[in-house]
Amino acid sequence: MYWKLPRNKVPLESLCYLAILNLTPDSFSDGGLFFDTDSALNHVKKLLDQGAQIIDIGSESTKPGSHPVEPCEEWARIEPVINDLRKEQPDCLLSIDTRHPETARLALDVGADIINDVTGFQDPEMLELVSNSKCGVIAMRVRMINDHIYMPNYSDSSPKDADNAIQELEIVKNRLLNAEIEPERILLDPGFGFGTTFLEDHALWNALHEIPALLNWPVERFCIGISRKRFVARSFGVSGNAMLDMKTAELHKNAVNIGYRVLRTHSIPSIPR
């Protein structure tokens, strides 16, 4: 089993770490730390040395209450970093975390390998762009209201099951396949915390062992993104990046034991994998 990308095939028999690089001043976990190009490049080198296979670059925060970033500003943050990375780390696989087709197009033009869309390619222009490309695709389940990501009260007590989220993820899958995007290019992201409550996220996590069969989708072709999220903090009653990273790693092990292989994360464990 492999993930088909423009420059190579990423084997999914072992773990694949998709390491997060936030080029934002307001990210929920490390906002501003890597906002300038030099800091970003140094952090990428550290992530690659730790074992990251792919760097996932995003410049629009999706934390609750964050403000949308216009594509021109989003690209202005990404462009110097991606250009320098292509020079300094030519073999590094680059993923661009964006929901804007304008940004995605520019990124692909300068050598991005993957488009990671947190809105699940709901924008027809974005869907057409990746359909006509050879790039890898990460598509996340999300709930939108009036083109904005819906973030309910995380402490809300209903719903308590994962049925709606799983059905929404199936819609994402079918959207990509109906656009004739090859399955080998696609990873599906369940979208923990994106329009879901804690109880819903908890049920979704407990359903991880069922989801591949329910969606008729290989377990290796999912991307698990829980790093430093409210789900981890609430599940263990912890805060602070060090504790969140430790507990995220514990949950990652549970997912890997089920068969999941692609982990989107801020921090890569230093222990042998």
Query: pLDDT (tens digit, 9 = 90+) per residue, 256-272?
Result: 999 999 999 999 986 44
- Report field, pTM of the whole predicted structure over 0.85: yes
243 in the Ramachandran plot: left (φ > 0), alpha (ψ -120 to 50) or beta?
A: alpha
Q: Which amino acid is at 103?
A: T
Distance of CA 183 to the CA centre of its chain: 17
Q: What percent of the chain has pLDDT over 70?
A: 93
- Tell me the angle at which helices 37-50 and 71-88 cross, rounded to the nearest 10 degrees: 60
> How high is the pLDDT of residue 272?
42
Write the DSSP assignment of 99-136 as a string of letters: S-HHHHHHHHHTT--EEEETTTT-SHHHHHHHHTS--E
What is the third-level CATH fold of 2-7+14-265?
TIM Barrel (3.20.20)
Nearest to 267 by CA among 14, 92, 10, 19: 19
Low pLDDT (below 50) residues in the chain: 28, 271-273
**Domains in the chain: boundaries:** 2-7+14-265
- 181-231 tens-digit pLDDT: 999 999 999 999 999 999 999 999 999 999 999 999 999 999 999 999 999
